[in-house]
Structure 1
């Protein structure tokens, strides 16, 4: 291969993002794809070895990447999210983590054959799940809010504590076996951990203060946060190894609960960075493994230990720690099964493997193989099973992509009723009870509140809704809604109604850049759509078949028919928009808004046919006696 650090960095980045795309395209767990790609280009084919290629900068790159990922995850830890979940979450991250440490350490000693010292170090590390693996799985599985919140909080909060417990166990070992280490070193370790929490909290408060008081311009906010996170991690980690993760977690949680208006912008920036880092780091770590490490995984002690962690340690620790909480049996089963290990386990275990070997613990040489076996097994087992298990336990949201409509009106109500009849999840949101009157009367799911409010994300679960339509009477508000939700929904799935004004001004050009895609192709506005519904226009569904093609449908349709969307057999919805039309194929259902006259004609034709048929049958019955008489 080309002997160039720049080329290797490029290759790792491309492979990581390509893995993410493949996982999205074929609906596979992204972590599994990245791990396989790393193994293929690393130990299997020997194309790259990042650990050797990057040299001394390998570990700092991994450590800083983990710190940024952990900070981005902790930015989502708003205490308002765990209302009603405080008790089970607290139990799992405290008593549950302690149980997992003890049980995992016992398993490492009696099953994996590790010495007590090494077992307690690695047992503490194996309690982590971490945002690098759990967050992609949650996005893929589309869990209901309760189990998703529990798994997310556990993964992010326990992540730094797992590394700290491992460090704590190592300090205890040092204290017991080394004459140079005294009780003072243990006190210093606890003091350093406390300093990390306080330092992270102080940096979070400082960041919030300078942002809220206008001391940092908007264009510098994300870079400033990025630099402060690295400083927070590096300073704390320099004082005591592994306390940097605790510091960045405290900083992120502090910022998340200050409810700063510009946090969302920073969060989106950090999410993009995290996706890139997770992709590249997983490829780097798996590509750095050796062939000997892979073969060592098939040792029966390691296999037995992995099975013990999967089927005994995790379920038992969750079930015991959640006794007396309001978690249902189904939620306990799901949470007790899902615990994938990730980047923190791989990076920290490699550090302790080298340190423990230096201390004379020969059994520490299998730590890398043991850790990778657990990481890869849990990532595969949980990555491929979380969606299936969540469905079986009724803890997953429907796979059918839903539609969220912003703005209550007669058109919105009738449009939503049509979607409901097609078994498509739909929700209408509005801040006015009056505009929601027809929606409530029709029995359509609704949310009364301001969709742009920060509070909305804590009361409204948007996971089932893949498409959003801004359908209010205000063009500017529609554009604002679409622009706000671009990071969550994606520009391709955001739509708004056509503008009222079609003058030669800059408004239309502006909407193409800051708003959503303009719905429908006849430039129909909010007023026109509602007038058509009020005068009696109906929503019609037309099946496209081999005999009745889309071309024939276009020829026969009324000139005033407005094409709305195509419903694909896969469940996808493709809207007709200005400048583009979906590719219509056999099996699609076309939904349109059309005048009722054609519907009345069809009904009249059916009635005529029925009458003629009945008349023929009556005539046959009347003729039968005459024939028998003859």
Structure 2
């Protein structure tokens, strides 16, 4: 039976298509223009929603909009829980514990005071909404971290705080709401708190059972590979629904616990599961923010006055910084990391969804201020998303906690080739690092003053010691084709396949020893390979860099240096690209050509 189109609106199918196109399109445009994706999604949603009225989720999709958002938030939180591997927390462990154990209750108190004396809400509404404000936006943190490219430890602290405190904030709001019910209805304290304890305990048990049960089934081979992701989704939704039936918002606690258990179960298929969940989360975050912005009713914001601005200023300038700085007293975190975390507290869709629910319940219980919670929540989300979307990256760079403006290059394998190329790039100002598990292979690089990492780049030690945010290009150039392929394949999702290069494999064509072409990185040096480059360097060939301009074009350079072997180039923006074979790519004005020259020509090179 055909789905009827709502009067004056879009059909549900067209509404879903529009949400998907706007969400993914906003993220793509943000990537192309280097802008905050969250801000573009909010703007796109408001344009098609309250501004032009093209999309109204309640009108076009119907009453399932709110349940859809709740389920999407559950999946987002579960994916966040999957990133909480305790083994990888390292030196951020103490800071995370303090932000959760001290920061959550202190943040609840300070947010309540900001609502009471800033926004002018009553104590009941302030206490409930203050509990929700413990949540710092797990739906927002991930896109912001991806765009700002923060250093490892502050990024870990912000991510763990956002995900772990999310269910804590929801439970704090439930606790405050139960107190309000005792004060304003006939409910007794024992009934209210008994229901709360039952809900929290049940959600925790469901999350543990779902996590351990799924891990056991995957370890024992009870689930085939092609069914693992569907089974995971089904168990996740069931755990959320069962917990939420007993106590509203307890499902958030259950899915977070479930994700945390699976993240620390050392599953052999964990990376595949995590990457698929990341893709699903990107789609869900996009859709949820478009729906959130499109659902905005400007008339509800009209109920607010100047005190709403005072409230936002109190949260951003007082409550958040004070919460973080007090929580981190006694830790060994340097002050630049503390200041960055203190100044970063974005709120997201979880805050709006939960605040809207409790605002309606407070209003139904006779608390008039409950009607103001929803508009205040959206205004806080809008203000913090815009503030941190545009301000986090510059602040991180100012504090020395972001990647360098010049894109860095990570070389795998210490050899004459990688050392010479890295030395040439270093002189151009590009951050370079050579990693090799063989100490002897790094002697030449260290003598040249090049930064090195002694160890396997795929090891856990590398995750703690190598600041990958400083590097955007990977060059796998060892004499082992299989290892080059493994490294390039592993780093592909993080660096992007376009930025992972692999030296041409020794055995070309079809062979029983050839590796699948869909694995590995982009090939370079075809027809020469590792041995070919090493032979040239042993014969005295050296790397030289030449800047091209309108006065000295690529054609003139090639005419002057016909014997040169073009290895790669830096474009005008500083991005590094390697040459696939012996055919020169077209290099634009401002590019710097990097080539190998024979001994007799090297001394004359410009």
Q: Normalising to structure 2: TM-score of the pair?
A: 0.95
Within the candidate set 578, 587, 590, 1:587 is matched to 590
Aligned-pair distance for 1:506?
7.6
Within the candidate set 410, 419, 422, 2:416 is matched to 410
SS of residue in 2 equivalent to 1:313? helix
Aligned-pair distance for 1:503?
4.2
Structure 1 residues 327 and 458, CA gap change in structure 2 (3 angstroms): closer
In the TM superposition, what whole-angstrom CA distance separates every residue of 1:258-297 from its partner, at most 9, and x where no partner exists? 2222111111000100011101100101100112024445
Within the candidate set 458, 461, 471, 1:465 is matched to 471
Within the candidate set 97, 106, 119, 2:104 is matched to 97
Within the candidate set 228, 240, 265, 2:247 is matched to 240
SS of residue in 2 equivalent to 1:194? helix
CA RMSD, aligned part only?
A: 1.9
Is 1:157 the counterpart of 2:164? The answer is: yes
Once residues 458 and 91 of structure 1 are traced to their aligned partners in structure 2, the CA distance between those partners, rounded to angstroms, is: 21
Bigger shift: residues 355-364 or 368-377: 355-364
Structure 1 residues 49 and 586, CA gap change in structure 2 (3 angstroms): same
> If you compute each CA radius of gyration, which structure gives the higher value, 1 or 2?
1
**1:515 corresponds to:** 520
Structure 1 residues 233 and 578, CA gap change in structure 2 (3 angstroms): farther
Aligned-pair distance for 1:230?
1.2
**1:626 corresponds to:** none
Q: Verify the 8 A CA contact 1:497 1:524 in the aligned structure 2.
A: no
In the TM superposition, what whole-angstrom CA distance separates every residue of 1:370-418 from its partner, at most 9, and x where no partner exists? 1111000011111111111112212222121111111121211111111
Q: Verify the 8 A CA contact 1:479 1:511 in the aligned structure 2.
A: no
SS of residue in 2 equivalent to 1:435? helix
**1:7 corresponds to:** 14
- List aligned pairs for 1:373-412, cutoff 5 A: 373-412=379-418
In the TM superposition, what whole-angstrom CA distance separates every residue of 1:411-469 from its partner, at most 9, and x where no partner exists? 11111111211111111112222222322333322222223345543443322111111
**1:548 corresponds to:** 552
Within the candidate set 112, 116, 119, 2:119 is matched to 112
Structure 1 residues 595 and 133, CA gap change in structure 2 (3 angstroms): same
Once residues 456 and 329 of structure 1 are traced to their aligned partners in structure 2, the CA distance between those partners, rounded to angstroms, is: 25
SS of residue in 2 equivalent to 1:403? strand
**1:575 corresponds to:** 578
Aligned-pair distance for 1:364?
1.5
Is 1:447 the counterpart of 2:453? The answer is: yes
Once residues 410 and 516 of structure 1 are traced to their aligned partners in structure 2, the CA distance between those partners, rounded to angstroms, is: 21
Aligned-pair distance for 1:14?
0.3
SS of residue in 1 equivalent to 2:543? strand
Q: Verify the 8 A CA contact 1:130 1:158 in the aligned structure 2.
A: no
Within the candidate set 335, 338, 344, 1:332 is matched to 338
Aligned-pair distance for 1:195?
2.3
Once residues 546 and 575 of structure 1 are traced to their aligned partners in structure 2, the CA distance between those partners, rounded to angstroms, is: 22
Unaligned segments of structure 1, at least 5 residues: 604-630
Aligned-pair distance for 1:145?
1.6
Q: How many residues align?
A: 599
**2:5 corresponds to:** none
Once residues 575 and 294 of structure 1 are traced to their aligned partners in structure 2, the CA distance between those partners, rounded to angstroms, is: 53
Structure 1 residues 227 and 581, CA gap change in structure 2 (3 angstroms): farther
**1:19 corresponds to:** 26
Is 1:34 the counterpart of 2:41? The answer is: yes
Q: Verify the 8 A CA contact 2:179 2:192 in the aligned structure 1.
A: no
Structure 1 residues 543 and 187, CA gap change in structure 2 (3 angstroms): same
In the TM superposition, what whole-angstrom CA distance separates every residue of 1:571-617 from its partner, at most 9, and x where no partner exists? 212222249865411111111112121123559xxxxxxxxxxxxxx
Once residues 262 and 443 of structure 1 are traced to their aligned partners in structure 2, the CA distance between those partners, rounded to angstroms, is: 40
Aligned-pair distance for 1:531?
1.2
Aligned-pair distance for 1:565?
1.6
Once residues 490 and 438 of structure 1 are traced to their aligned partners in structure 2, the CA distance between those partners, rounded to angstroms, is: 29
Q: Normalising to structure 1: TM-score of the pair?
A: 0.91
Once residues 294 and 37 of structure 1 are traced to their aligned partners in structure 2, the CA distance between those partners, rounded to angstroms, is: 19
Aligned-pair distance for 1:159?
1.1
In the TM superposition, what whole-angstrom CA distance separates every residue of 1:54-106 from its partner, at most 9, and x where no partner exists? 22211111011111111111111112333222222211112122111111112
Once residues 114 and 388 of structure 1 are traced to their aligned partners in structure 2, the CA distance between those partners, rounded to angstroms, is: 34
Bigger shift: residues 78-87 or 398-407: 78-87
Q: Verify the 8 A CA contact 1:205 1:254 in the aligned structure 2.
A: yes
Within the candidate set 327, 347, 350, 1:344 is matched to 350
